[in-house]
């Protein structure tokens, strides 16, 4: 079964940085991303072979100083052979980190984004 895009899902928790020293932490984060995506993907789906675009919003619970680019790679890697065959298919990435009291009003958020905006943070 081919995937229909867009695919939206939320992952609760603090994303793990590419620079994290513990490989176990990175693998746990990747599994958390895959588990969240499984909730919205159809059973028996095939990873797409087409180019994809990714939008990632990170809503922090407390002000964070880490670089957002360091959370992208583990999150994108979690979707290899699950949503897309390899991360070379990702042709566009939009990523933004929002501090707890500095989230601009979205004019027409999707239901999934609206859920993230109202949920307990941190959430990606």
Domains (ranges, CATH) in the chain? 23-117 (3.30.1330.70)
Query: How much of the chain is in helix, strand and coil states, percent to nearest 5?
Result: 30, 20, 55
| pTM reported for the whole predicted model | 0.93
pLDDT of residue 67: 87
| pLDDT one-digit tens code per residue, 22-46 | 989 999 999 999 999 999 999 999 9
Please state, in angstroms and rounded to a whole number, the distance separating the CA atoms of residues 70 and 16. 8
pLDDT of residue 32: 98
| pLDDT one-digit tens code per residue, 104-118 | 899 999 999 999 999
């Amino acid at each position: 079964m081919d995937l229909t895009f867009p695919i939206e899902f939320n992952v609760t928790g603090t994303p793990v940085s590419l620079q994290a020293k513990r490989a176990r932490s990175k693998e746990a984060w990747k599994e958390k991303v895959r588990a969240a995506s499984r909730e919205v993907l159809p059973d028996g789906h095939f990873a797409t072979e087409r180019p994809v675009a990714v939008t990632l919003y990170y809503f922090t619970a407390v002000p964070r100083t880490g670089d957002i680019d360091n959370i992208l790679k583990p999150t994108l890697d979690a979707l290899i052979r699950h949503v897309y065959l390899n991360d070379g298919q990702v042709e566009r990435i939009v990523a933004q980190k929002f501090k707890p009291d500095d989230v601009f009003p979205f004019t027409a958020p999707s239901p999934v984004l609206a859920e993230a905006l109202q949920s307990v943070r941190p959430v990606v």
